[in-house]
Structure 1
Amino acid sequence: MALRVIRLVIPSGATALKAGTVSQKAGLHTSSVRSLQYGWLAYVLGERTTPRFSQNSKIITVDGNLASGKGALAQKVAERLGMLYMPEPDTFYIDKMTGEKEPLPVAFNGMCSLEKFYLDPKATDGNSYRLQSWMYIMRLLQYADAIEHLLTTGQGVVLERSPFSDMVFVDAMFKEGYIRKECVDHYNEIKGISICEFLPPHLAIYVDIPAEEVQKRLKQSSKPYLHNVPLSYLKGIEESYKKSFLPQIGAETEVLAYDATQAQDFERVAEDIEYLKFDKGPWLEQDDVTYHHMRMLVQNKQRVAGLTHIPKFLPETTIGAHEYDETYYAYRALPGKRYAPGYNEDVGDKHIWLK
């Protein structure tokens, strides 16, 4: 038997720490594990989502190639429209959700390395696809966080990329020979059974910048491992955005595209967003009943991550039962991981018997 390690412990419910903000929610006790969570009883007692919505209660994603300036645009748009900005997740996104003081070892975070990918994209240990598969899961978890924030508070969210656009990297990797066809098939199967559970963003903004300019910017980066990214790989990402992602997402989502210069005019972009009618897509078909079920899904991060589990062997992402067992007990041996949060004396938790 072989088991794929997604994460030994993924937070679920309202106690998860969101990367970018902390939402305070009512609770009966001071202990975090006693926090109240949204559920069917809250809905029965009259808790509704639509009364909180306003004109800017939207999910907006900002996409573009590496070093395209999408992060600055996303942050400024969020500030201008009074939305929450969520920066692009990295391989340690779960550690941010759980409030780790320091990132845990890569053995508990996808067993992959972004730096290694850029230095040795054709590594024989399968790091490239393991990284891409893990990043899809991180984007899915962040997107669930974004929807949970929207439904809980009514405040819109602006993200850098999303699980809907994540496929541009798979396309570019395959064209460069970094991953096998079996990996592409595996990715498409996982995405096919998971992304369908989520509504697409209300708006996708694309920052169009030539691959040659992207490579030039990467060579000036403070991160040495980005200095030698092949131009063909960057062109592959650009091509996938224009030929695959934008046509697909445009069928259900509003799309705005800007070149590098236009993307720096944050006020203009914000004005363009305010003029959009948002008169297409599945969000128009939702009501308080569907929002209730959606909220129940996205607050349960274990369930969200479980959407990416399939009983299929793939050398790049599958480990044996014995290795999984070793990893599990290694994780439980870490400080504060033996019991639920708030019940571990080794990290200073007090009055455990009163909780």
Structure 2
Amino acid sequence: MFMFYRGVCSPFFSGTASMALTVIRLLVPGAAAALKAGNLVQKASFHTSSVRGLEYGWLAYLLGERTTPRLKKYSKIISVDGNLASGKGALAQKLADKLGMLYMPEADTFYMDKMTKEKEPLSVDFNGMCSLEKFYTNPKAADGNSYRLQLWMYNVRVLQYSDAIEHLLTTGQGVILERSPFSDMVFLDAMFKQGYIRQECVEHYNEIKHNSICEFLPPHLVIYLDLPAEEVQKKLRDSGKSYLQNVPLQYLKNIDDSYKKSFLPEIRETSELLIYDATQDVDAEKVAEDIEYLKFDKGLWLEQNDVTYHNMRMLVQDKQGVSNLTNIPKFLPEITVGGLDFDQKYYAYKSLPGKKYAPGYNEDVGDKNIWLK
């Protein structure tokens, strides 16, 4: 598997001159610093500059930095789940505003660019080499786009989830997400049932998920919006997006089935679960009231203390380490490219403005006083 980070290149060859295509760039600065909440939240930190920053570490812990004093009533991770076009985003944003939590929109294929504040999205060559539009218009494309998309989306969901936990532990402010890596498998199931991906891809995905998801605690609460597949299809057609006009009804039903038969029964064992009928607008006020009555008396979050929070915080702030969790060297035609092809993409990336050196050291984008840094 080959992991490519912004400014860092760590090759791992599997088999001959081929490397797996997971293209992930280091998030700089860390998510806790980059994310801006609706409410101002005091964050424990050391002195930082635009170029150099001292991350939280063992020294901070030894000097008395602790997480539990910052955790309040709504210091929670909440995931809003549901089928496509079920109203997740609208509810999540309203609920975050009402509860004073941070809202993180659903990660897309260009999540890296948003976190690193690119002025314009970079080429798909640097964002998973996959296309959501192509998936919906040609889900059985011979170039393996469907599985590259699925694997890439799992990668960015894992990174976003690490960003959410980092924000929670660093600031004490809770986070509301649209979906999480724990529910990402519903799309894998639906793709496989439709014949969009091969059995070998399913096995590869499950191996990666098994090796990575165990490092994270599931959301404190999952809110599921239940919308019939027929209504989902109608909403997609009404969206005006050309590539969503012909999404197969059976694919949407497969997503719904996977949620109800696999994800929801499993997540109920570890997290609080609220389910709402999304055929009508779900009232955020009512949802907030229901959350008030939840006991949050199950799951691994109850077993955490300042020592385990310290270890968790050390993990989630290390984006390269988080990305390595999804890195398994295995040849699959869908995600493997030759070394020469990768070299071309790597040097094409390094030739972009501001990418040759570390942030703050690139004269071509106006960085000043480089020799003093």
CA distance in 2, matches of 1:262, 1:39: 47
One-letter amino acid of the counterpart of residue 111, structure 2: Y
* Aligned counterpart for 1:258 among listed residues 253, 260, 276: 276
Is 1:271–2:289 an aligned residue pair? yes
> Equivalent residue for 1:331?
349
Q: CA RMSD in A?
A: 1.7
Q: Deviations over 1:7-55 (max 9, x none)?
A: 3631266377646659877564632x31221111000000000000001
Q: In the alignment, which of 132, 144, 152 is matched to residue 162 of structure 2?
A: 144
Task: Indicate which of 259, 264, 275 corresponds to 1:241.
Answer: 259
Using the alignment, how far apart are the partners of 2:24 and 2:351 within structure 1?
Answer: 12
Deviation at 1:4, TM superposition (A): 2.0
How far, CA to CA, are the matches of 2:142 and 2:181 in structure 1? 26
1:69: which partner in 2?
Answer: 87
For residue 364 of structure 2, what is the aligned residue in structure 1? Answer: 346
**C-alpha contact (below 8 Å) 2:31/2:166 kept by paired residues:** no
- CA spacing shift, 1:270–1:263, aligned 2, 3 Å: farther
Q: How does 1:68-217 map to 2 (within 5 A)?
A: 68-217=86-235
Contact 1:263–1:269 (CA<8 Å) still a contact in 2?
A: no
**Structure 2 partner of 1:218:** 236
Residue 25 of structure 2 aligns with an amino acid whose one-letter code is V
Residues 6 and 305 in structure 1, CA contact (< 8 A), matched pair in contact too: no
Unpaired segments ≥5 residues, structure 1: none
**Distance of aligned partners of 1:114 and 1:126 in 2 relative to their CA distance in 1, 3 Å threshold:** same
1:284 maps to amino acid = L
Shift of 1:265: 1.2
Counterpart residue number, 2:8: none
1:242-298 Cα deviation digits (max 9, x unpaired) = 000001111101100000156521111001011100000000000000000100110
8 Å Cα contact 2:48/2:54 also seen in 1: no
Please tell me whether the aligned partners of residues 129 and 179 of structure 1 are also in contact (alpha carbons under 8 angstroms).
yes
Measure the CA separation in 1 of the matches of 2:249 and 2:24: 37
Return the alpha-carbon distance in structure 2 between the equivalents of residues 59 and 65 of structure 1.
20
Structure-2 residue corresponding to 1:41:
59
Per-residue CA shift, 1:159-191, capped at 9, x if unaligned?
A: 000000000000000000011111111110000
1:4 corresponding residue in structure 2: 20
Partner in structure 2 of residue 286 of structure 1: 304
Q: Secondary structure at the match of 1:255?
A: strand
Post-superposition offset of 1:111: 0.1
Partner secondary structure for residue 86 of structure 2: coil
Give, as a single letter, the amino acid of the residue that structure 2 aligns with 1:62.
Answer: V
Q: Quote how far apart the aligned CAs of 1:6 are.
A: 2.5
The two structures have a TM-score, normalised by structure 2, of 0.91
- Deviation larger for 338-347 or 34-43: 34-43
Contact 2:22 2:335 in 1 (8 A): no
Q: How many Å apart are 1:5 and its aligned residue?
A: 3.3
Q: What's the CA shift for 1:114?
A: 0.2
Letter in 2 for 1:95: D
Further displaced range: 207-216 or 19-28: 19-28
For 1:30, the aligned partner's letter is S
Secondary structure at 1:264 match in 2: coil
- Contact 1:83/1:157 (8 A) holds in 2: yes
**C-alpha contact (below 8 Å) 2:186/2:255 kept by paired residues:** yes
AA at the equivalent of 1:308: T
**2-side partners of 1:196 and 1:169: how far apart?**
20
> What is the CA–CA distance in structure 2 between the aligned matches of 1:149 and 1:255, rounded to whole Å?
23
The count of residues paired between Structure 1 and Structure 2 equals 354
CA separation of 1:68 and 1:253: change in aligned 2, threshold 3 A: same
Instruction: Classify the secondary structure of the residue corresponding to 2:240.
Output: coil
Between the aligned residues of both structures, percent identity stands at: 71
**Cα distance change on mapping 1:30 and 1:125 into 2, 3 Å:** same
Q: Any conservation in 1 of the 2:158–2:180 contact (CA below 8 Å)? A: yes
Q: Deviations over 1:79-128 (max 9, x none)?
A: 11110000001000011111111110000000000000000000000000
**What is the DSSP-based 3-state SS (H/G/I as helix, E as strand, rest coil) of the residue aligned with 1:5?**
strand
